Amino acid sequence: MNNSIKRIGVFTSGGDAPGMNACIRAVVRTAIYEGKKVSGILHGYQGMIDGNIIDMNSRSVSNILQLGGTILKTARCLDFRTPEGRKKAYDNITAQGIDALVAIGGDGTFTGAEVFSREYDIPVVGVPGTIDNDLYGSDFTLGYDTANNTVIDAIDKIRDTAASHDRLFFIEVMGRDSGCIALNCGIAGGAEAILLPEKETGIDELIQKLENAAKDKKTSTIVIVAEGDKNGGAYNVAKRVQEKFDFYDAKVTILGHLQRGGSPSSFDRVLASRLGFGAVKRLLRGETRIMVGLRGNDIVTTPLEVALRSKEFKLADDMIEMMNVLAI
């Protein structure tokens, strides 16, 4: 055990994700169990710069396991990109006695953590928390499973009304750079077409699919559009399709930020607990600048710089082939 660590600072940063609270709880309780003190840094890196830091104990994290969002709040902080911002952050956390960090977030969070840890030689372990599932080194990120269930619930509801009116719906889901939610939920929701950032689909190709669906007497049609699809979002796609193909009455639903909310699924709660527990254990073993993740059923670690720089194509080939086959 690294006995030189006395107080661990935990924070969430970037887009919130269901399961972050369960992870905070695991970090706080594991650290206390191991005889360490814990501080919660509010609003991510912004809280470090502003000195917005609270003392935490086992009871500070009572009854939060099941809550969406993050009790520590979050932010996207531009000041932390500057050396002056990081200097302020360092002064504030050391003034509170914090000598190690657990950072829960996505790639922006880890970029900041990596630079900061090198600059000030402070140990840091990252936990992948983002609904996008777009980090190398973990099969799943916190919040992804819950977001999928939220999206599928919405698709099912839209299917009811689409089928009743014989309508075509374009449903936009989150994923600026990642089609994980779109592909997974498109398959689970029986979508007729899925547009992904990782794979360009032309409007003519899409129209061909929709024409085939109409010829095959499909009464309702659902197209899932990932936010980062190159055609420019669901409204654009719908407009361009309707200009050439007006067989169906077309509607657009943007699911937006509701995908980030809600009580975490049992999968996310357990993943959050394992990753939070694992992060503290690794910190206390003297490991630093790593991300904890899940591979198969094992908690593994990946250097932060590898997690950040390696691009992992998370869309399984059979899923991509299947999205066309099962939609006939």
Q: Which residues bind ligand F6P (CB under 6 A)?
A: 15, 130-132, 174-176, 227, 260
Q: Do 292 and 301 touch, CB atoms closer than 8 A? A: yes
- DSSP type of residue 142: B
Q: How far is the CB of 238 from ligand F6P (least distance, A)?
A: 19
d(CA 139, CA 199): 20
Q: Is 132 a catalytic residue?
A: yes
Q: How far is the CB of 16 from ligand F6P (least distance, A)?
A: 8
Nearest CB to ligand F6P, comparing residues 178 and 220: 178
* 173: phi then psi, degrees, rounded to nearest 5: -115, 160
Closest CA to 211 of 57, 328, 93: 328
Cα 117 to the chain's mean position, in Å? 23
Which residue type occupies 224? I
Quote the tokens at residue 216: 């095959």
Q: How far is the CB of 313 from ligand F6P (least distance, A)?
A: 17
Q: Do 113 and 93 touch, CB atoms closer than 8 A? A: no
Closest CA to 248 of 215, 226, 273, 279: 215
Q: How far is the CB of 254 from ligand F6P (least distance, A)?
A: 12
Nearest CB to ligand F6P, comparing residues 20 and 56: 20
Spatial neighbors of 4 by CB under 8 A, at least 6 apart, are 99
Nearest CB to ligand F6P, comparing residues 128 and 175: 175
Closest CA to 186 of 199, 249, 203: 199
Nearest CB to ligand F6P, comparing residues 123 and 175: 175
Nearest CB to ligand F6P, comparing residues 174 and 241: 174
Catalytic residue among 99, 107, 132, 134: 132
**DSSP count for the chain of H helices, then E strands:** 11, 11
Active-site residues: which are they?
132
